Amino acid sequence: MLFMVIERFRDQDMVPVYRRLRDQGRALPAGLQYVDSWVEATFGRCFQLMRCDDARLLQAWVLQWRGLGVTFEIVPVVESVETRAIVAPHLDPTEP
């Protein structure tokens, strides 16, 4: 499954998080894969795409970042191509 992880930096201060990332890496549990990330221009949020089959891996990973002034929102997401395939049969419904 794919998850969009939205990190919010307290006071738009990402320095503690980036320092930890530089010094210790992402420290991902086995089975959790980092796909890519984007940072908001104001430094308020970071959007990370992660992949795993067990959401508990995300929970374990989030716990490692406590105390750095960052909060996490974890949103399960579906790739657009997969969503289009599910929606396609409903675009032109047939009349009974």
Which pLDDT does position 96 carry in this prediction?
A: 58
Mean pLDDT, the chain, whole residue set: 93
Which pLDDT does position 93 carry in this prediction?
A: 77
| C-alpha pair distances (Å), 68 with each of 2, 57, 95 | 25, 20, 57
Which pLDDT does position 95 carry in this prediction?
A: 61
Does residue 36 surpass a pLDDT of 80?
A: yes
30-45 mean pLDDT: 95
CATH annotation of 2-90: 3.30.70
SS3 at position 30: coil
Query: Can you give the residue ranges of every domain in the chain?
Result: 2-90
SS3 at position 67: coil
The single residue listed with the structure tokens 């049969």 is: 89
Instruction: Please check whether residue 8 is in contact with residue 48, taking contact to mean a CB–CB distance below 8 angstroms.
Output: no
17-44 mean pLDDT: 94
